[in-house]
Amino acid sequence: MPESGSPAPALPGPGDFAAARALFPGAREQTYLSVCDRGILGDHTVAALHGYLAAMQGTRLQRRDYEAVVDDTKARFAALIGADASEIALSGNVSDGVNAIANALPWREGDNVVLTSELEHPNNLYPWMRVAERGVEIRTVPMREGAIDVAAMQAAMDERTRAATAASVTFSPGLRTDLAGLAAICRARGVFLLVDAVQSAGILRHDVTVEGVDALVTSTSKGLLGLYGCGLLYCRRDWADRLAPVYLSRTGANVAPDKPSEMGTAAFRAGAGRFEVGSYNFAGAYAVRASLALVEALGAAAIEAHVLSLSRRLTGGLARLGLPVTQPPREAARAHIVTVGKLGDGGHDVARDETLQAWSAALKAAGVVHTIRRGQLRFATHLYNDMTDIDRVLALSAAHFARG
């Protein structure tokens, strides 16, 4: 499709992380270790947005031209996670995706949903609280060694369990969930499994066919290196066609895509497209399409290996400094997020441990971007980070604690 605007920079070859880093001014201007909070835009994504805005200034392109970009975006995301394009919807964000699924499930009074409330982000709790008003029980199970306990979730299930939900990687302490193990349990019981993948999509590999999850939601503002206010929703086709979303508009209805003003029936569109409501966020689609192209160019497996090598080095270095760094209960639980401190010993941007709070302030003053969640300092890596970032944090930390 023809577009106007500045030419996009060339994408790197497979595994060329030095070339990828060069696309991100934000990674060069500071030590950015906070993709768990938000991603940063690369030059290729900014060029794509300029192209979109330039096209909007003119009259050459029609609505269907912009919708073709949405279709390509969904196809690229489907390829990234091992899905079919018909199983992907463009959504508003994680909250939009969770709400869409939670309210489309065929609940009956007395049903229950199983989750681990102390490890889920509030945005994967509020929708279920609303569902509970229909007489659905929320069954929350305790974490185990800072991770979601799949065995405990299984033990909490019974014949009235309709759904289970879990983060692929918890936002704090940042440990990976055994999705395949949980999905196998859910599939055997006919329980719908919804995954919040906002902390992993674009960073760690997903294959929804292998993992066996029924739905996966993410935003584009973190690991997918796009904009706020845009997200992607996967729903397995055989489930999607059985679900009835609360909202319906032309984009989610079974009508011809090239005749948007003609009235059709109230029948839902086949596949995950039934969850789409109203006009698309075209700017968001242009942005994430460019970022998905970068992920494809580098290779999802290479990106995962890259970030895990960085997190191992950071974890080991911080542990050698005597800091209370979170250690995964098993290697498979390791992710790209490294946390330090006691989980629950503080809140949003606050650690009750004054030593950790002072360390955080010193790092921020030195240009190390990180966050504090639930009392833990969080450092998270992505494709634009390298070992110089890790070594700088370790050197700054050693100097800080040496001063006492």
State the amino acid at position 333 in one-letter form: A
Burial 276-306 (b: 16+ CB within 10 A, else e): bbeebbbbbbbbbbbbbbbbebbbbebbbeb
Region 175-180 average pLDDT: 98
3-state secondary structure of 397: helix
SS3 (DSSP) at 116: coil
Least confident residue range of 2-6, 204-208, 257-261: 2-6
Query: What's CA 305's distance to the chain center, in Å?
Result: 18
pLDDT tens digits for range 234-289: 999 999 999 999 999 988 988 876 666 677 777 898 999 999 999 999 999 999 99
Q: Can you list the domains of the chain with their CATH numbers?
A: 63-294 (3.40.640.10), 300-402 (3.90.1150.10)
Least confident of 15-19, 55-59, 316-320: 55-59
Q: Which of 8, 37, 5 is nearest to 23 (CA)?
A: 8
The confidence score (pLDDT) of residue 264 equals: 72
314, 253 in Cβ contact below 8 A? no
Burial zone of 108 (CB within 10 Å; 0-12 exposed, 13-18 middle, 19+ buried) = exposed
- Residues composing the chain: 404
Note the helical H segments in 299-383. 300-320, 354-365
Reported as a single tens digit per residue, the pLDDT across 27-83 is 999 999 999 999 999 999 999 999 999 999 988 888 889 999 999 999 999 999 999
Per-residue pLDDT at 1: 40
Residue 292: band (very low, low, confident or very high) from pLDDT cuts 50, 70, 90: very high
Q: Give, as one character, the DSSP assignment of residue 175.
A: P
Q: Which residue has the higher pLDDT, 2 or 5?
A: 5
72, HSE (Cβ side, Cα atoms, 13 Å): 18
pLDDT tens, residue by residue, 338-369: 999 999 999 999 999 999 999 999 999 999 99
Query: Hey, what are 167's tokens?
Result: 């983060």
Q: Where are the alpha helices (DSSP H) in 58-194?
A: 63-81, 94-102, 126-132, 150-156, 179-189
Judge contact between 213 and 195, C-beta under 8 A.
yes
Residue/partner pairs of 300-305 with CB below 8 Å, 24 or more apart: 300/80, 300/205, 301/205, 302/14, 302/15, 302/17, 303/202, 303/203, 303/382, 303/383, 304/203, 304/204, 304/205
Q: Tokens for 298, please give them.
A: 């580098």
Band of the pLDDT at 8, cuts 50, 70, 90? confident
Q: Cβ distance 379 to 338 under 8 Å?
A: yes
Check residue 147 and report its DSSP letter: B
Predicted pLDDT of residue 5: 53
| pLDDT value at 4 more than 60 | no
Q: Is 27 exposed, middle or buried (0-12, 13-18, 19+ CB in 10 A)?
A: buried
Q: What are 253's strand-pairing partners?
A: 268
CA separation, residue 216 to residues 22, 234, 325 (Å): 31, 5, 29
What tokens were used for 231? 């997200």
Share the mean pLDDT of the chain. Answer: 95
Neighbours of 133 (CB within 10 A): 7
Q: Does residue 286 come out as left (phi exceeding 0), alpha (psi in the -120 to 50 range) or beta?
A: alpha
Q: What residues contact residue 14 under an 8 Å CB cut-off, 6+ apart?
A: 297, 298, 299, 302
User: Which helix H or strand E contains 50, and what residues bound it?
Assistant: helix 43-57
DSSP-assigned letter for residue 311: H
Point out the least confidently predicted range of 5-9, 105-109, 330-334, 400-404.
Answer: 5-9
Q: How confident is the model at residue 2 (pLDDT cuts 50, 70, 90)?
A: very low
- Asked whether the beta carbons of 338 and 319 are under 8 A apart, the reply is no
The values of phi and psi at residue 316, to 5°, are -65, -40
Can you give the pTM of this predicted structure? 0.95
The pair of structure tokens assigned to 237 is 């086709």
